[in-house]
Structure 1
Amino acid sequence: MTRPHLILTLACLFCVSSAMADSVFSPVYLDGALEGFNSNDAPHAASTADGNPGTTLGEQRRWAFERALEYWELRLDSNVVIEVAAEMNDLSCSFSGAVLGSAGPDWAYADWVPSAGGSSPAFANTVYPSALANRLANRDLDVDYPDIGATFNKQIDESDGCLFQTSWYYALGEAPSGTISFFATALHEIGHGIGFLTFVDKASGSRLWEMDDIYMKFLLDHSTGKLWPDMTDSERAASATDPSDLHWVGPNVMAALGPLTGGVSDGHAHMYAPETLEGGSSVSHWDTAIEDSNGNHELMEPSATGSEKLLITGELLQDIGWNDVPANDCNFASYRLTLSSLYSGTNEHNACVSVTYDGALIYEGDTTATAGREVVLKNGFTVEQGATFRVQTDPNIGL
């Protein structure tokens, strides 16, 4: 289930904009009437049961997508709204594999003139993705176009031959068997849109506008000892297919590698560079070996793993020019935690988005529930006399 990125230029033929008041992100939906994000088909029952309030399939899709935008909004600061154009189309899919989605910046900029409170780029003659360039410049460098384009595979819902009757799951919980988390996929694709990608043509090694881009400045080929800006086009093309030797050497990432148990060598994090070039996936993802001691993989690996977390992506975003990112202190594979057991002693139940107690009995000690968005107590939940049950929500705990 690969998730490549594309650099998109999207025309708004039928746009439905959904306002998110005082938000960093603003979604624009490009699907036609009654299709994709505007579908009036019956909602997915599992997603409804697990908290998605949408009364149609289109409403469920928009709700899940906007929760992903809200999640990134908690981690990024920008005085300029990031407009995200989104649609659902038929992408590649078979019984055994599928492209879940694709996304990327709609535009790129170099050597801009900042407005008051903004800054010139840290590197001259260097290409930056639209959302990041706008943030640094403190103004919208092109008000007529979205900053990010994102497309998701509607065949996953609509074709029995796609991943053998797999469907999207539109709630925030852990995706049930036979489904794929739309929320997690949207998080990944938005990550590409805000700058987790290179503009280099990886087959030829040629640079956009014959300039470095901000992402490639931190790519080092360990086998040659060269950074990508110091390479020829042919050397960059060779480096894009040099497994385990293509490394990220940004200072923020290098300082955060301690908890990782895989995908790291020589104080560097490995990038995805398989021997056979994978167009949208190679270079613009972490290596699949990136892992921590709890078995969590990186959100920005090329394929969905079901055990994803932001381990070092926040630090990569800092390296290219985004703001500091809150600490990674919860596993997003467990952002919805369903409990149906007896608990004794002192307990802590933490989740990125919500903690749901489904008929759980808490007893013989204190219990604290911490979630980024909500704590839900379902019918049957009880606390034994003498026990203390504490609840706290903190939107900054995030991935």
Structure 2
Amino acid sequence: MVSGLAWGQRTLPQAKKIRTTASSDLIFLPAKGTVCYSTGQTDSRIGPPPEFLRRRGGRTTATTAQIIVEYEGFSDSARVAFQYAVDIWSSLIVSPIPIRVRAIWTNLGGNSNGSIILGGARPYAYVAGVQGALKANTAYPIALAEKLARQNLNGDQPDIYCQFNSNSQVNWYLGTDGAANGSRGRQDLVTVVTHELGHGLGFTSSFYAENPIGVWGNDSNYGYPEAFDHFVVNATNQQLIDQTLFSNPSNELYRQLTSNNLFFNGPLATQRNGGTKPKLYAPTTYSVGSSISHLDETTYRTGTANALMTPSLARGEVNQNPGPIVMNIFTDMGWKSTSILHERLRDSEDLLGRPITFRATVVSDTTLKGNVRLSYTINDTTRANATTVNMTQSGSEYTYTLAAANTPRIIRYWITAEDNSNRVFTSPAEAPGRALWTFRIGTDNTPPTITHVPQSTILSTADSLILTADVFDDFDFGIDTTYIDYRINGVAQPSVPMPRLGYYVTNGVRSNNIYAVGVLTFASGRIKGGDKIEYRIVARDRSKARNQATLPATGYFTVNVAGVGTAVSEYVNDFNATTAANDFSGNGFQITTPTGFLDAAIHSDHPYVDGPASQGYEANYTYILLKPIRLSDQDPFIRFDEICLVEPGAAGSIFGSSDFYDYVVVEGSRDGGKTWVPFDEAGMPGPTTNGSRPITRNSSGRMEPKTLPTSVRQVCTNAVK
């Protein structure tokens, strides 16, 4: 048996890579949840919005949104109430893509300090780099991202994940007539579901605070603000995600998040609120799941038109209308918008001396003002010098053809549309200030770009080494050939092809960028401990020059072959001996004594870092014990101490699924490291799959700075089980 320690970060499915044709990736990001509390009692009642009543009465058949719910644990009457709230939202928003909701009826706990959690909801995922986005480099909640792109981006997966409290201390009213306020202060389920669906549709921010630090961002490098975040400002109109004002993370940001003085500065939300920016809930004591992601409780009191999206709902409070402020916030975020869907033009040799046609599909929820325009420069980086022309319309399709030229050119361009509310939409988002589309016409002398995470170690018992690479070529010819040159102990071996596993896809359009996989195979006994495998990846494009790239540019990557030692009957290591590391091989871990620890142990980097963007930010680190252990049939055990702080994955996710991240696992192998199985956790808490309990932990921690680790525990488990 060989035992190994491993952890995986943000594990994403690799069968289908998704990218935009812009400079940014189409990246699926983790999501956080909000919660709704019950406090106090009232008899206020606000009924459903007029749009819902008109649809209910058959007085309108306007296209809106289809919301499909997958229920778990709901009674029939609770489903009816939930569907009523669903119908309210489907009458208010428009999307050509069905919105899928996973709803779970479960015990979220009882009364605590006079309040009780009624439910919680979140977008199931966020997507950055989507076509039709209003903001560049921004994480959009998946339902809104699909609406903007006018395309399904996540298949049959949910777009919204929500839970509601089945605890008997919640006195639910399950009717749809709004009579909860006349039923001895019961909690109106329609109201609570309407509130939570609002969060799932995007009324949520990425801001988080833990004294003395505030932070934002949907990526562990704090790189992606959410759509909502762009509009959060203080009383002097300073944008909180402006890092020239507030570093991220920082104490300055923490003070803003707990200032009780934050606002939503959307142009329509402000204009249609009498010129007053809607106030957000930002109490002086930060409230996880409530702060920032709600309207202010004091400003929008129970019984008023905009009270639904405040953080607390009183018993007996009936409010089945999101209210004008929320709907205008949603409009500012993009729920009522214009999408410019455009496949950017790529570098080309064939277009030299030929006309160039620009194409875009423009879909609007409103009416457009004037013409859709193309702005471009030729061999000029000054955007103010751009030529602007009207594109020719045919239905929702717009085109413009640029006359042929026989000289090489670099063309920079963007497309603009404006609606009757004077809102300007561009492709790429926020052009020309934040980004432009750029392509070259002329001879291709640029080699492909190869991205690869090098392998550093392999067991002598391994029969293969799998290598993957992303290969990018901006010219429209794409990649011709990718292969691996390698040698063992300096002796050259036959090259191994890296066939294309898949293309990157942007909103259903296949690009020329590929995801390639090559496998080096070894006969039994071919490699042994101490050997060195050296390799490099070579890619060639389809241009006339057949440009070629090699990674690394010079030399080779080196993989050290670790020999498996003689089997032992028992193994003990406290990691304090200077030779402790000799028994291990791997990457990402080392035996060291960081500041704050009394003695040595196996450590990753603190904090551990994301993998490369080309690999979906996934990182996988492994540390393998090289001494096989001969297991006794008399209840053998493995015992170790564990301290870990890892980012949480999706609620309810199961070890092995794509949304179970980040994690640490201890595994064993019976076949010399070819296959690995998690050790049973012997009754310790943790996720369960197929009746087993692997030593894993889907963290309840966060990516933001924390004072306590996710898990501190001693583990002792039967090594056979």
Query: SS at the partner of 2:278?
Result: strand
Q: Does 1:194 align with 2:221?
A: no
Contact 2:125 2:159 in 1 (8 A): yes
Residue aligning to 2:126: 108
Distance 1:212 1:23, change over 3 A: closer
Contact 1:273-1:287 within 8 A present in 2 as well: yes
What is the CA–CA distance in structure 1 between the aligned matches of 2:115 and 2:331, rounded to whole Å?
33
| One-letter amino acid of the structure 1 residue matched with residue 76 of structure 2 | E
Counterpart of 2:33 in structure 1 is 6
Deviation at 1:23, TM superposition (A): 5.6
TM-score normalised to the size of structure 2?
0.35
Q: Deviations over 1:247-269 (max 9, x none)?
A: 111011111223xxxxxxx8222
Matches within 5 A, 1:270-289: 270-289=279-298
Q: CA deviation at 1:144?
A: 4.1
Distance 1:90 1:133 in 2: 31
Residue 386 of structure 1: aligned partner: none
Give the letter aligned to residue 227 of structure 1: Q
Q: Hey, what's the Cα distance between the residues in 1 that align with 2:230 and 2:96?
A: 26
Q: Deviations over 1:288-318 (max 9, x none)?
A: 1234898445210001142645141100100
The correspondence for 1:219, drawn from 232, 237, 242, is 232
Question: What's the secondary structure of 1:190's corresponding residue?
Answer: helix
Is residue 334 of structure 2 the alignment partner of residue 321 of structure 1?
yes
Aligned mates of 1:232, 1:313 — CA distance in 2: 29
How do residues 166-315 of structure 1 correspond to structure 2 at under 5 angstroms?
166-175=171-180, 176-203=183-210, 204-209=214-219, 210-222=223-235, 225-230=237-242, 231-233=246-248, 234=250, 235-243=252-260, 245-258=261-274, 267-291=276-300, 295-305=304-314, 306=317, 308=319, 309=321, 310-315=323-328
Output the CA distance in 2 between the equivalents of 1:319 and 1:195: 11
Instruction: Check the 8 A contact 1:100/1:152 in 2, yes or no.
Output: yes
Matched, 1:99 2:117: yes
**Alignment correspondent of 2:86:** 69
8 Å contact from structure 1 (residues 290, 297) kept in 2: no
Tell me which residue corresponds to 2:456: none
**Partner of residue 142, structure 1:** 154
DSSP 3-state at the match of 2:329:
helix
Contact 2:34 2:290 in 1 (8 A): no
Change (3 A) 1:292 1:206: closer
Q: Distance in 1 between matches of 2:123 and 2:257?
A: 21
Compared with structure 1, are the counterparts of its residues 295 and 105 closer, same or farther at alpha carbon in structure 2 (3 Å cutoff)?
A: closer
Q: Give yes or no for contact 1:110–1:127 (8 Å, CA) kept in 2.
A: yes
Distance 2:172 2:79 in 1: 16
Write the mapping of 1:346-361 to structure 2, written as runs, cut at 5 A: none
Letter of the structure 1 residue corresponding to residue 191 of structure 2: A
Amino acid paired to 2:121:
A
Q: Is the 8 A contact 2:263 2:277 kept in 1?
A: yes
Instruction: Provide closer, same or farther for how the CA distance between residues 199 and 295 of structure 1 changes in structure 2, counting only shifts above 3 A.
Output: closer
Conserved? CA contact 1:297–1:307, under 8 Å? no
1:394 aligned residue: none
Q: Distance in 2 between matches of 1:268 and 1:307?
A: 25
Distance in 1 between the 2:276 and 2:185 partners? 39
Seen in structure 2, the aligned counterparts of structure 1 residues 285 and 137 have a Cα distance that, compared at 3 Å, is same
Kindly indicate whether residue 42 of structure 2 is the aligned counterpart of residue 26 of structure 1. Answer: no
Return the alpha-carbon distance in structure 2 between the equivalents of residues 222 and 271 of structure 1.
11
Q: Separation in 2 of the partners of 1:294 and 1:61? A: 24
Pair 189,295 (structure 1): closer, same or farther in 2 beyond 3 Å: closer
Q: Which structure has the bigger radius of gyration? A: 2
Q: Give me the whole-angstrom Cα distance separating, in 1, the residues matched to 2:208 and 2:304.
A: 33
Q: Deviations over 1:328-349 (max 9, x none)?
A: xxxxxxxxxxxxxxxxxxxxxx
Contact residue 200 and residue 208 of structure 1 kept, 8 A: no
Matched, 1:133 2:160: no
- For residues 268 and 6 of structure 1, the distance between their equivalents in structure 2, rounded to whole angstroms, comes to 25
Shift in Å, 1:97: 1.5
Please tell me the residue identity of whatever aligns with 1:167: W
User: Which protein has the bigger strand share?
Assistant: 2
Question: Matches of 1:133 and 1:247 in 2, distance apart?
Answer: 24
| Residue identity opposite 1:270 in structure 2 | K
Displacement, 1:169? 3.0
RMSD: 2.6
8 Å contact from structure 2 (residues 206, 216) kept in 1:
no
Q: Is this contact kept in 1: 2:280–2:292, CA < 8 A?
A: yes
Q: For residue 201 of structure 1, report the CA deviation from its aligned partner.
A: 3.0
User: Which residue of 2 is the match for residue 337 of structure 1?
Assistant: none
Decide whether the 8 Å contact of 1:169 with 1:179 is kept in 2: no
Runs ≥4 in structure 1, deviation > 6 angstroms?
none
Equivalenced residue count is 262
Q: Does structure 1 retain, via aligned residues, the 8 Å contact 2:65–2:95? A: no
Give CA deviations for 1:44-94 in whole Å, capped at 9, x if unaligned.
xxxxxxxxxxxxxx1111111111111100000000000000011111321
| Distance of 1:275 and 1:144 partners within structure 2 | 41
Percent of paired sites with the same residue? 28
The separation in 1 between residues aligned to 2:119 and 2:335, in whole angstroms, is 24
Contact 1:252–1:318 at 8 Å: present in 2 too? yes
Distance in 2, Cα, partners of 1:23 & 1:152: 23
Q: 1:91 to 1:320 in 2, by over 3 A?
A: same
CA contact (8 A) 1:298 1:311 kept: no
1:83 and 1:293 map into 2 onto residues whose CA distance is 30
Q: Comparing both structures, which one devotes a greater share of its residues to helix?
A: 1
Q: Any stretches of 5+ residues in structure 2 without a counterpart?
A: 1-31, 36-63, 338-364, 367-721
Secondary structure of 1:65's aligned partner = helix
